[in-house]
A and B are shown apart, each in its own frame.
Chain A
Amino acid sequence: MELHDKKIKTLIERFKSGKEDIHNILNDLRREVELYIYNFPRLAYKKGPDICSEFYLYVLERLGSIIENFPLNETIQFKTWFNAVLRNQLTNFFYYHQKDRKLELSLEDYENDISVDVFEKEELDLKTLMKGLSSLNCMERLSLLFFYMPECLEAEDIKKASESFKMSIQEILAIQRSLIVAREKEIQRIREISDKIGKYSQTLARLKYKLYKGSGEDLKIKNELLQKIARNEASRARLVRLMEAPDKAVFREFSALFRNALVTKRYLKTAKRKLRIILLTQKKMIEEAL
């Protein structure tokens, strides 16, 4: 999600100068940031639509005083500052408006929104995975976390990564950020391709049904239908190949942690293999115990 840094800063400048109608400027500012505010609890903390709307209204009431505090003389992007502000506002929002909820912002709250049976299964899987990951050595564990779950990295992991990969914390944080962005883009790409595959499958089912039902019709129509089916199946197969293709963007960002792409590949492959063996051993042990 983008925020127009220059435009927003100009509006804030006008707002602070007090020379123009504050109400109008605040309205323009609201238009610039409203989607960002509304989506903040959902994207950053996986909260549902109720919390998003309530939080949106909560911030909107305070927008004037929030904007007042933006340091215009500093060389800082508005969105960086705004993320910190929204995070604090969300903490306050939970504290004042939802006293029955946990005060600390946690992604785990999302589990409450998932039906019990799904949640229990998910929890078990994540536990097994985390247990498996903890059995790996530090570099291997960090490699897998960075590559597959960069948003799950915790402060201690970042510190360890800085030591293990011999980079500054600032560099490690930048890599984590790029990886989260690349992963999200990859997920969106896969979703779009899946949607298209779904549409092709629907068309194919319709065409095949038409072919089956119209078995008595002449050969020319049947031929046309068969050609259409073949074309659609080829397009669908192309999309499936595209979806299964390795994710180059994530790998490119990830390889910044290592000396070169070859070392990166080798490290990732070894860590994955070791984790698979650990998980299989755990599974076998559980089965034997049962």
Chain B
Amino acid sequence: MFGCGKFSEIELLKYLEGSKENLDVIEKHLKECPLCMKEITELNRVSAIMESGRAEPLRKKAFVTIFAKNQDFEWVLPSAGTGRIELLPQTRTISGRRIKKAVYTIDEIPANLEVVPVQEDTFWVLLRSPELSSSEAILRKKGSLKPIYSISPEGPEVIFKGIGPGEYEVYFREYVIRFNIKVEN
């Protein structure tokens, strides 16, 4: 429904485009109806801004949610890729338990993300990509503008250490990988 609903959305959008159809009736209604007037003014502003605004490039994006329970990963729920849980060698343990790591291989982005628990609620995040050697990798917590890490790796690999649970984003070249580490104890 558009505004108060007296006119259909299409009728009012046509009016906005300059159509003379039902012009007098719509004008009269707009003068009397603050709801429709507000909607049409807002849409007029949005149309003009969208017409004149400059587009920013869309970054290729991948998401993964990693659930950790008692320091073990239980599920990896990826979008645009595949996730799996791998056991680390017998020699590496936390509180006597063998460590599992979460591995996320992304389809559209030539990258592989690994999340490894190192202590209780602390993780290392390892990102591998051939694109990394010529780019800066930035890690930031979702919602924050300040980066936690900003690294220009010499090779195709970068490690972010001391990462706690939460939602993060890694930026490199035109790519963004968002991962969410959820911990349940």
A115 to nearest B CB, angstroms? 10
Q: Which of B34-68 contact A (CB under 8 A)?
A: 34, 37-38, 40-59, 61
Add 10 more A-B contacts to A87-B46, A162-B31 (CB < 8 A). A56-B58, A79-B51, A80-B16, A83-B43, A84-B9, A153-B41, A155-B38, A173-B41, A174-B18, A185-B52
Chain A residues positioned under 8 Å from B40 (CB to CB): 155, 169, 173
Is the beta-carbon distance between A168 and B48 smaller than 8 angstroms? Answer: no
A-B contacts, 22 of them at CB < 8 A, read: A35-B58, A36-B50, A39-B56, A71-B10, A75-B19, A77-B17, A83-B47, A84-B43, A113-B145, A154-B41, A159-B30, A169-B37, A170-B16, A170-B18, A174-B18, A176-B45, A176-B48, A177-B44, A177-B48, A177-B51, A180-B52, A184-B52
Shortest distance between the CB of B160 and any CB in chain A (Å) = 19
Pick the residue among A71, A80, A170, A183 that contacts B27 (CB under 8 A). Answer: A170
Report which of B54, B58, B142 forms a contact with A188, defined as CB distance below 8 A: B54
Is B6 part of the contact surface with A, judged by Cβ < 8 Å? no
Are the C-beta atoms of A84 and B2 separated by less than 8 Å? yes
The main secondary structure of chain A at its interface with chain B is helix
What is the predominant secondary structure among interface residues of chain B facing chain A?
helix
Q: Is A262 an interface residue (CB 8 A)?
A: no
CB–CB A168/B10 < 8 A: no
Residues of chain A within 8 A of B49, CB atoms compared: 43-44, 151, 180, 184
Kindly identify, within residues 111 to 168 of chain A, every residue whose CB is under 8 Å from any CB belonging to chain B.
113, 150-151, 153-156, 158-159, 162, 168
Q: Is residue B5 within 8 Å, beta carbon to beta carbon, of the partner chain?
A: no
Contacts from B to A (Cβ < 8 Å): 2, 9-10, 13-19, 23, 27, 30-31, 34, 37-38, 40-59, 61, 142-143, 145, 176, 178
Q: Which of B16, B27, B31, B145 has the most CB of A within 10 A?
A: B16
**Least CB separation from A73: chain B residue:** B10
Select the residue from B19, B40, B47, B143 with max chain A CB neighbours within 10 A: B47
**How far in angstroms is the closest Cβ of chain B from A49?**
8
What distance in Å separates the Cβ of A272 from its nearest Cβ neighbour in chain B? Answer: 24
Query: Digit string of A25-45 for contact with B (CB within 8 Å is 1, else 0)?
Result: 000000000111011101110
Q: How many residue pairs bridge A and B at CB < 8 Å?
A: 127
Would you list which residues of chain A between 172 and 225 have a CB under 8 Å from chain B?
A: 173-174, 176-178, 180-181, 183-185, 188
The docked-state distance in angstroms from the alpha carbon of A168 to that of B49 is 22
Please, which residue of chain A has its CB at the minimum distance from the CB of B2? A84
> Shortest CB–CB separation between residue A183 and chain B, in angstroms?
8
Interchain CB contact under 8 A, A170 and B56: no
What distance in Å separates the Cβ of A220 from its nearest Cβ neighbour in chain B?
A: 42
Tell me whether B143 and A1 are in contact (CB under 8 A). Answer: no
- B56 to chain A minimum Cβ distance, whole angstroms, is 6
Residues of chain A within 8 A of B27, CB atoms compared: 168-170
Check: A92 CB closer than 8 A to any chain B CB.
no
Identify the A interface with B (CB < 8 A): 1, 34-36, 38-40, 42-44, 48, 50, 53, 56-57, 71, 74-77, 79-81, 83-84, 87, 113, 150-151, 153-156, 158-159, 162, 168-170, 173-174, 176-178, 180-181, 183-185, 188
A178 and B59 alpha carbons, distance in the complex (Å): 31
**A87 to B19 CA separation, bound complex (whole angstroms):** 22
Give chain B nearest CB distance to A52 CB in angstroms.
8
Given A1-B50, A44-B49, A81-B13 contact (CB < 8 Å): yes
- CB proximity of B48 to chain A, nearest CB, Å: 4
> With A155-B38, A155-B41, A159-B37 given, is the CB distance from A44 to B54 under 8 Å?
no
The distance from the CB of B140 to the nearest CB of chain A, in whole angstroms, is 10
Given that A35-B58, A74-B14, A155-B34 are known contacts, is A87 also in contact with B50, CB under 8 Å in the complex?
Answer: no
Q: A1-B51, A71-B10, A170-B23 are in contact. Are A76 and B58 (CB under 8 A)?
A: no
Query: Chain B residues with Cβ under 8 A from A71's Cβ?
Result: 10
Q: Which 8 A-B pairs have the closest CB atoms?
A: A184-B52, A180-B48, A43-B53, A177-B48, A155-B37, A181-B52, A155-B41, A155-B38
Closest residue on chain A to residue B53 by CB atoms:
A43
